Amino acid sequence: MYDVALESFIPYVQLHEFEAFLLVEPDRLLGMYPEKGNAVSHLKKEIGTMEPKTVNEAPDTAPSKRIIKHIPEYEGQKAQVGPLVAEDIGLYVLQNKCPHFDSWLSKLESLVNQ
């Protein structure tokens, strides 16, 4: 294991895959897949009121697998579509729904104010 002895190194370790962010507001997927209204409705029904951190129960229920199950095209477009959808959701919403992410981002923001 390596020791990173830099105070400015503040890593973010996310327990679940990136797509957990997208499940914060699944309707935002419609911006990229406007013809997938029924698919997004089924995805929303599947995840119900789960918090983003609890959506990843098993390999076949990982956030990306849930999205791909309903929107198969997403599988080959994850790297392009995922960041655009997250951007559409916005940092404010992601911080409100994802406390671990909020804590890390707040720590970085506090460095600017020092």
Contact 20, 67 (CB under 8 A): no
DSSP state of 50: -
Report pTM. 0.84
Ordered mean pLDDT values, 10 residues apiece, the chain (114 residues): 72 84 96 98 90 72 92 96 97 92 91 76
